[in-house]
Each structure stands twice: as C-alpha cells, then as structure tokens.
Structure 1
Amino acid sequence: HFGRQNEVITIDLARVMEGEDLLASAVEPADRAISAGQAIAIATMAPQDEVERLQGKYGRDVVARTAEDFLTCLAQRMIFERGVRRLVIAGGETAGAIVPKLPITRFIVGPYQGLGTGRMVAEMPFPVALMLKSGKLGGLDVFSAVLDEMRRPVSVEPYLEQWPPKARTQ
C-alpha cells in the first residue's frame, strides 16, 4: 500500500550476507526521494524460500542480526548524515535493535494510536520523531498515516522518560 505512492527500496539480504556493502546503494535512492519531498521505505524482505535458504546457510540468528545491523547503520546514517527527522521502524525485533543504538538522552511518548504502534519524540543532539510498529499489526495505511501525523504537533500531555532508564535505588 505504501509503495503505491512512495519509494520502497528493497535490500538484497543475500548480498549483505556475502559481505557486500550496500549502504551506499540504499542511501542514494533515499536521497533522491527525500530531495523530491517523498517518503521512503527501506526493507530487507525476501521471498520465504530465499529467507529459508539464507537461514540454512548462515543460521537463523546470524541472518536476523545481519539484517538488524544493516538497518541500524542505515538509520544512523539517514539521521546523522542526511537529516532525516521522522522515522518509522517496523518490526519489533528491528526496533529493539535500532533504538538502543541511537544516542537518545530522553524521549517524549506520544498518544496511543492503536495496537502494535508506539510514537515518541527522541531527544538526541536534536529531536527525531519515531514510530515503532510491531510486525503484522496496523492498518494498510499505517505508514503513510503516521508519517502525516508526525508533521503535526501532539495535542496530548506528553509522558517524559529518561533513556536509558536509570537504575532504581531502594
């Protein structure tokens, strides 16, 4: 649904697994889309038989970690080198891999918007709007709708939280 009106860049995970550096090949089309004012999606999806082949060759955990590491490096590059300030991270494990590797000092949690989604503004050296979306939850238009909503200020009192959480003392 998102790809009907926006750029979707699919990363060939087999090439990443073979050690090929595909970061530049993902950043270049992303730059063109961003310059044109277009939203983009970057995915490491593959047909099930290809995923199974890679998992058989390298191991399930290695394939997952490689995809997460690639997307983490790409997110960091897009934020810190390309000035991206609105980011949707889809996949619970993917979000769990990317968010802890960002230099977030605190975050402001946004309003509840439905099962499997969470919005926040992460404070780093600058604010970045994030939406974390778990796997298969959310409507067909969830990406476009959330990116549009991220352009408007939140009208609900925010919940402030320090990141990373401080150890509790007793």
Structure 2
Amino acid sequence: MNKNKLFRQFHIYLSLFFLPCAFIFALTGIAYIFGINQDIGLEKQIYTLNERVEKGQEIEKLLGFLKDNNIKIPSNTQAIKSKDKGITIGSTHYSVSIAENGENQYQITTKTRSFLGDLIMLHKDKGAWYFSVLSVGFGVSLFLLYISGLMITLFASKKDRKNQILVLIAGILITFILAYISL
C-alpha cells in the first residue's frame, strides 16, 4: 500500500466515524455564537417547601417532596452542590434542586432541557464523562485529519500545489488577523 492510499484510507475512516460528533459540535457552536444557550426550550417548575430541614437531610426531604407530589424523581439522586448554594440531583437533561429561601422555607426547582439544550450542555462538557471521552477523541482526530489532509493535498498530490499553498497561507493570515483584531 502506498503512502497516498494509506493517508486517504486513514482520513476517510476517521472522518466517517467522527462525522456525527462533528455535526453536534458545529450545530451547537453556531447556535451558541448566535446567543442560543443550554436553556433554550427549558421547562422549569418552582415549588415551595415550608418545613424545617436539618442540615444534611435536604436530599431525603427533597425526594419525599417529589414522591408526595407525584413529581418525577431523577434517575441519579447523587447530590451536587449548586451555584446558588443549593443542592441538585439528576442529570443535564432533567434535574431537581433544593435551596434555602428563608427560615424554614425552601425552593424546589425542576428543570427539563430541550434536545438542543442537551446538545449544548454536551458541547460545554457538562454531561457524564462518556461523551467527554468521545469529545477528546474528536479533538485529537481533527488534528490528525488536518495532518493527513495536508499530507494528501500538499505532498501526495502534485496537481495545483502552488494554489494549494497560497490558499493555506491565506487561511493562516486571515485567521491570525481576525483573531488578533477580535481580542
């Protein structure tokens, strides 16, 4: 097998494997640039619990409240400290939080994200570690795809080499100029 064919095969199969990941990152990146964040289509419900809750018993009270009020209980009930000093259980798609709202008063909030909101959370590495592994693999593959693409284009294919090098130089210059003036 010659080098040209090896680079083409590597390039083709790696790009096909990571194509769905590329679509997710492209779609969510474009959406985020246009101001769409993970809360698009978010369904949020707020409840009040007027009861004394002992420190360390918040999750038990929360689960009891959810059960008593026929509110969906998240599959993951492991407590995570929230930004608002409350406690959250659940996943990026569906979560429930409890936060003190005054003396003997707690706010319980349920959040259900939309499909696009879920994808944006994955893009921001806010999901479980499984997709993070795929994301890192995708990032490494992008590097490898561009290296193999350069090998195919600039070294293996002698046709239009001058134009290819000019386009590469133009891309480098425009990228650095626009990045510099954007900072």
For the superposition of Structure 1 and Structure 2, which TM-score range results when normalised by the shorter chain? under 0.3
Greater relative CO (CA pairs within 8 A, separation 6+): 2
Bigger share in helix: 2
Report the TM-score, using the length of structure 2 for normalisation.
0.24
Structure exhibiting the larger radius of gyration computed from Cα positions: 2
